[in-house]
Amino acid sequence: MGSIPNLIRTIVEEIVDHPEQIQINEVKSSQVTVIELNIAKEDNGLLIGKKGKVITSLRNIVDAAIGKQGMAGRIYFQIIGL
């Protein structure tokens, strides 16, 4: 797993109540990367935030990080409550 999933894990661990349940899978294609983020079901609301503000902020941070690394394409999040 690359540095982007590690960045996501570091941030999400500080947001959720059950960081020990975080599982991250990275699925890459030529232009798109899907990050499957498995968290405790009770943490879904914390990660998404009011009106999606938390997940939008996380997406913006990740977009900035991939831009800095010179990576092309887009990352999409799939949040799965365990």
User: What was the pLDDT predicted at 17?
Assistant: 97
User: What was the pLDDT predicted at 65?
Assistant: 87
Q: Classify 3 as helix, strand or coil.
A: helix
Distance CA 79, CA 82 (A): 10
Query: What amino acid is encoded at 35 in this protein?
Result: I
Closest CA to 37 of 77, 2, 82, 10: 77
Domains and CATH numbers, the chain: 3-81 (3.30.300.20)
Q: What is the pLDDT of residues 15-40, one digit of tens each?
A: 999 999 999 998 887 778 888 999 99
* pTM, two decimal places: 0.83
